[in-house]
């Protein structure tokens, strides 16, 4: 008897639970048996017997299985729902420990020293005249959310139909906070049929305006800074996305006029 799960299913389990190939196979084998020995599991999972013990120890340390001190030694799988609860609790404990360390760091003299070092290093920079670039959507959205959180009057998002859902997912929380601070939010995109779920999400913080052409991807904050996405979103991997961040009123004014001239409906 050997494991009958497909390679795709095993790969999915590996991704979801952070297991290597042998760990996933042995765990699935044990789940199918409820209780079994090392030798039998190596046959079912079709892995070398010499590796079975190490794999079982690793799964036991991870909380996936427990060992019965019987003879011969056997193993039992933790019920999946119970496992998830344990993993959730473990993740929360780990997160709380990291947050505690960060909170202690905030109050440490070391952080003040590092901040002082940074401030001295950038004294020559005039922030009001700087143009920066950012690469990778994680870094890009982090910087954009920072600007949205500081917005006083208006946020304008110009995007493509392909990127609309991604922007709402990434920036939705910041935009809701902006609305709560009386900031007006307008979104412009050349969409035809809008997903009802996305539309309802947008209505929580602003208004969707349809355009008759694809103008590009821009985000304007308070009319004095603009984020320009330089790449084609249909051909670019998220890690290769590049944004230019320009401060000043000239570019935002031009883009706002261009966008308003292509609004339909």
- CATH code for the domain in which residue 174 is found: 3.30.870.10
Q: Which residue range is the domain that position 159 belongs to?
A: 127-264
Residues 150 and 32 in one domain: no
**In this predicted structure, what is the pLDDT of residue 126?**
57
In a domain, 235, yes or no: yes
In a domain, 29, yes or no: yes
**In this predicted structure, what is the pLDDT of residue 140?**
94
**In this predicted structure, what is the pLDDT of residue 159?**
94
Q: Which two tokens stand for residue 146?
A: 């920072």
In a domain, 115, yes or no: no
CA atoms of 258 and 264, how far apart (whole Å): 13
Cα-Cα-Cα-Cα torsion 14, 140, 116, 98, nearest 10 degrees, comes to -20
Q: Could you give the number of structural domains in the chain?
A: 2
Residues 64 and 147 in one domain: no
Residues 162 and 236 in one domain: yes
In a domain, 50, yes or no: yes
Which residue ranges of the chain lie beneath pLDDT 50? none
Q: Which two tokens stand for residue 50?
A: 């010499």
**In this predicted structure, what is the pLDDT of residue 131?**
82
**In this predicted structure, what is the pLDDT of residue 184?**
95
Residues 161 and 234 in one domain: yes
Residues 181 and 245 in one domain: yes
In a domain, 120, yes or no: no
Sign of CA dihedral 27, 28, 29, 33: positive
In a domain, 122, yes or no: no
Q: Which two tokens stand for residue 61?
A: 């340390």
Contacting residues for 160 by C-beta, under 8 A, at least 6 apart: 189, 190, 214, 216, 217, 233, 234
What's the start-to-end Cα distance of the chain, in Å? Answer: 65
Residues 159 and 244 in one domain: yes
CA atoms of 99 and 233, how far apart (whole Å): 35
In a domain, 89, yes or no: no
**In this predicted structure, what is the pLDDT of residue 2?**
60
Strand pairing of 184-189 and 207-211? Answer: parallel
CA atoms of 5 and 217, how far apart (whole Å): 44
**In this predicted structure, what is the pLDDT of residue 190?**
92
CA atoms of 129 and 66, how far apart (whole Å): 62
Residues 62 and 189 in one domain: no
What percentage of the chain reaches a pLDDT higher than 70? 95
Residues 65 and 142 in one domain: no
Residues 48 and 136 in one domain: no
């Amino acid at each position: 008897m050997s494991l009958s799960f497909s390679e795709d299913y095993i790969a999915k389990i590996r991704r979801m639970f952070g297991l290597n190939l042998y760990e996933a196979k042995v765990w699935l084998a044990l789940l199918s048996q409820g209780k079994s020995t090392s030798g039998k599991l190596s046959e079912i999972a079709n892995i070398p017997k010499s590796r079975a013990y190490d794999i079982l120890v690793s799964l036991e340390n991870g909380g996936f299985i427990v060992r019965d001190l019987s003879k011969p030694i056997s193993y039992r799988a933790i019920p999946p729902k119970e496992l998830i609860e344990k993993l959730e609790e473990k993740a929360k404990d780990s997160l709380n420990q990291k947050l505690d360390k960060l909170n202690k760091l905030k109050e440490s003299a070391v952080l003040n020293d590092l901040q002082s070092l940074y401030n001295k290093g950038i004294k020559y920079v005039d922030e009001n005249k700087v143009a920066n670039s950012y690469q990778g959507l994680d870094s890009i959205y982090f910087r954009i959310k920072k600007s949205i959180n500081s917005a006083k009057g208006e946020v304008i998002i110009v995007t493509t139909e392909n990127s609309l859902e991604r922007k709402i997912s990434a920036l939705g929380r910041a935009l809701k906070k902006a609305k709560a601070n009386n900031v007006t939010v307008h979104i412009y995109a050349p969409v035809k049929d809008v997903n009802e779920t996305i539309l309802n999400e947008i209505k929580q913080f602003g208004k969707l305006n349809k355009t008759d052409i694809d103008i590009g991807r821009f985000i304007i904050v308070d009319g004095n800074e603009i984020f320009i996405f330089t790449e084609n979103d249909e051909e670019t991997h998220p890690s290769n996305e590049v944004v230019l961040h320009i401060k000043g009123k000239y570019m935002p004014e031009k883009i706002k006029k261009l966008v308003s001239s292509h609004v339909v409906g």
